[in-house]
Amino acid sequence: MSKETALPDVSFDLPPEEFRRLGHQLIELMIETLEAERSDPVLRPVTGPEIRGLIDEPLPQSGSSIDDIMIQWRDVLSRHSRRHGHPRFFGYVCTSADPLGMLADAMASTVNQLVTAWRSSPPAIEIERLVLRWLDELVGFGANGNGLLVSGGSMANFHGLACAVTQAELHANLPPGSRHRLAVYMSREGHVSMKKAAQLLGLPPDNVRLLDIDEGRRLQTDALRTQLEEDRAAGLIPAAVCVSSGTANTGTIDPLNDVSEICQEYGVWFHIDGSYGAPAVMTKDYAWMAEAFGRADSLSLDPHKWLFAPADAGCVLIRDEEISRRTFTLFSEYTTITQTDPIERFAFFDHGLEMSRRFRGLKVWTILKARGADRIAGVIQHDIDLRRHLDARIDAEHRLEPLGSELSIACFRYVPESEVSDERLNAINQTIVETLIAEGRCYMSPTTLEGRYALRVCIINFRTQREDIDFLVDEVLRIGRDAEGSTG
């Protein structure tokens, strides 16, 4: 064949030696990035135009050197990403990822399994089903691992609520197009994903009942009972009560056991959003949650939060496997399963929204197997103890006012010596947050509690120590005093 008519090179394979060289280079970059988690700023100040200028270019028509690309990984991605694993990262519910989970994620990409049905990937399916049983056992759900690994808490809550809607329709024998008659109940502190899920499932926004909270920011059971009675009298059908075992805002745990009894009394689906806080059930102080977990119809928990898996790795546990099957199974010729063995005929796509699913289970399996539940529980307890140390520091400083704490989240604010307006007080605390982030040595997120601008600290990190908490408090006091003394 002449040179002019030669076929183009259509293979992306790398020679083994080249793959090995790049792999070693990548591992060195990963190690460098992990070391920077401890020493570099939590976040380097950078503007939108600056970041875009570093990466923006026309669609490449011919290839670039992978070595040059890896330099961009280092200089742009690693250098300018927010370091969630930094011991002084206290913003949002973002964790330090276990390095063993990182390696497992690379292996999952290498085998590149679509975890759809057993026939598609027997090992991956069995690993994920085992992970679900382990997570079920870990939190005391008690349904032998019926559920699904998903992208995170939002999708887990969606799947749980979808099953609740199916059960409500079946029990009430509702005809198609009747979801405007269904209602869902949660506190006004509940996660926004529940409201979003309800609307996507066809419930009117007004049918998502946002109930009052008590002084501890927990759902008021009296308000729940009253709303259930009123809605039933008005012809509405209660589909689900959704409570939190650790809100993202303040870490609040709703009265789980009391709500479970109300749900049982009224025959309503009981969903627990444990995306953040459910793993705390492994500790002595929060073991009491297991009783309610064992009564829930569905429960969400995110291994990529307090089980330290790299994102993304969420989970929903469903007590009644048949309900999830009825919710998500649709027939098509190209998904027909012909196997007859009970193990071999299993398909995750019969229990969830996704068809193609990435192999999320390998990193969770690796972490649980390598670290063990006892060691993970010890880290969770350590984070809770650090929050208590923060509480003690807040209580000891007359310029700091506690605004509530639970699990590993604490909210507080700086209060000047002399009396100032509410507007000025909020501005001082906003300055503290913005200055901390700009300086890059700490990172926290703000929230607003009854009109009070609050400093919010979330500790889910195996690198954080007491000295990091002390550093944060000292910085808040320093910046607060400077802001207090300035005009404005």
Taking the C-alpha atoms of residue 123 and residue 42, their distance in angstroms, rounded to an integer, is 38
Quote the pLDDT of residue 37.
Answer: 87
* Sheet containing 89-90: order of strands: 89-90, 443-449, 452-458, 409-414, 400-406
Residue indicated by tokens 């609740």: 164
Amino acid at 155: M
Question: Could you read off the pLDDT of 330-381 as tens digits, one per residue?
Answer: 887 777 777 778 888 888 888 899 989 999 999 999 999 999 999 999 999 9
Domains in the chain, start-ordered, CATH in brackets? 104-371 (3.40.640.10), 375-485 (3.90.1150.170)
Distance of CA 260 to the CA centre of its chain: 23
Q: 397 phi and psi, to 5 degrees? A: -105, 120
Average pLDDT over residues 383-407: 97
Residue indicated by tokens 């995306």: 275
Q: Measured at the alpha carbon of residue 103, what is the angle toward residues 376 and 14, in degrees to the nearest 5?
A: 175
Q: Give the pairing of strands 269-273 and 298-301.
A: parallel
pLDDT of 469 above 60: yes
Question: Could you read off the pLDDT of 119-174 as tens digits, one per residue?
Answer: 889 999 999 999 999 999 999 999 999 999 999 999 999 999 999 999 999 999 99
pLDDT of 3 above 70: no
Selected residue with higher pLDDT from 4 and 106:
106
What does the DSSP assignment read for 267-314?
T-EEEEE-TTTGGGGGSSTTTTHHHHHTT-SEEEE-TTTTT-PPS--E
Question: Could you read off the pLDDT of 425-452 as tens digits, one per residue?
Answer: 999 999 999 999 999 999 999 999 999 9
Q: 138 phi and psi, to 5 degrees? A: -60, -40
Which tokens in the block code for residue 256? Answer: 């789980």
- What DSSP designation does 234 have? T
pLDDT of 483 above 70: yes
Question: Could you read off the pLDDT of 193-252 as tens digits, one per residue?
Answer: 999 999 999 999 999 999 999 999 999 999 999 999 999 999 999 999 999 999 999 999
Q: 117 phi and psi, to 5 degrees? A: -130, 160
Which tokens in the block code for residue 29? Answer: 């970059």
pLDDT of 305 above 80: yes
* Residues 285, 276 contacting (CB under 8 angstroms): no
pLDDT of 2 above 60: no
Amino acid at 227: Q
pLDDT of 51 above 90: yes
Quote the pLDDT of residue 336.
Answer: 77
Q: Tell me whether residue 214 is exposed, middle or buried, using C-beta atoms within 10 angstroms of its C-beta: 0 to 12, 13 to 18, 19 or more.
A: middle
